[in-house]
Amino acid sequence: MNELSELYEEIILDHNKNPRYFNNIPEGSNRTAEGDNPLCGDHYTIHLTVENGIVEGVGFEGSGCAISKASASLMLESVLGKTEMEATELFKGLHGMLTGDRSHESDSVEFGKLEVLNGVCKYPMRIKCATLAWHVLNAALKNTEQAVTTE
């Protein structure tokens, strides 16, 4: 039970029950990416409105377990208002934290509330649940970059 409460902390359960920016397409949405975990069928689409390099609006749709949904909700909450670069750094830092790859560790990345996701580290089978939304975010951030280069 004790270990479980580290995984299913109050804040995770709260964001699962009341996901922020869920089923929301932000006004002027200009970046969208989707991703799934074929092993479990979790599927999310993330929408961003990026203006002048700043994430001005966020939203997500899809379905999955409590960990994946809470992770998406917490993620969008924390990237809103950040620059693209900051958001990318947050992705790299968090991905490193969860997968044990510390190569992108940086003092400038402050996890804040996101520290709660660290509880998943003890559950190797569930790490992908926590990182799914982050990979989708990364794709959404990159997508436009690619579009820009092709144009």
Partner 1 sequence: MAYVNFKDKHYHHPDEAMIHSTTVDLMYVKRDFPILYKPVHNQPLVYLDNAATTQKPQSVIKALYSYYTSKNANIHRGVHSLSEQSTLAYESAREKVRQFINARDAKEIVFVKGATEAINLVAQTFGKLAVKKGDEIIVSELEHHSNIVPWQILCEQNEAILRVIPMSDSGELQIEQLDAMLNERTKLLAVSHVSNAIGTINPIKRIIQKANQVGVPVLIDGAQATAHLGVDVQALDCDFYVFSGHKMYAPTGIGVLYAKKKILETMPPYQGGGDMITRVSFKSKTVYNQIPHKFEAGTPNIGGAIGLGAAIDYLSKFEMNQISAHENQLLEYATNALQQIPELQIIGTAEHKAGIISFVLDDIHPHDIGTILDQSGIAVRAGHHCAMPLMERLGINATTRVSFGLYNTFTDIDRLLSGLQNVLRIFKPN
Cβ closer to partner 1: 17 or 102? 17
Q: Which residues contact 136 (CB under 8 A, 6 or more apart)?
A: 33, 34, 35, 44, 45, 46, 72
Cβ closer to partner 1: 23 or 149? 23
- In three-state secondary structure terms, 95 is helix
Minimum distance from residue 108 beta carbon to partner 1 (Å): 33
Cβ closer to partner 1: 41 or 53? 41
- Residue in the block written with tokens 């203006």: 51
Whether residue 104 contacts residue 95, with contact meaning beta carbons closer than 8 Å, is answered with yes
Minimum distance from residue 33 beta carbon to partner 1 (Å): 20
Inter-helix orientation angle 84-99/127-150, to 10°: 150
- In three-state secondary structure terms, 28 is coil
Cβ closer to partner 1: 16 or 88? 16
How far are the Cα atoms of 41, 45, 47, 100, 133 from residue 33, in angstroms, in the given order?
Answer: 16, 6, 7, 25, 10
Minimum distance from residue 99 beta carbon to partner 1 (Å): 18
Query: What gap in Å lies between CA 82 and CA 99, rounded to an integer?
Result: 23
Minimum distance from residue 71 beta carbon to partner 1 (Å): 13
Cβ closer to partner 1: 67 or 72? 67
What residue ranges bind partner 1 (CB under 8 A)? 1, 3-4, 7-8, 13, 39-42, 63-67, 123, 125-126, 129
Minimum distance from residue 131 beta carbon to partner 1 (Å): 14
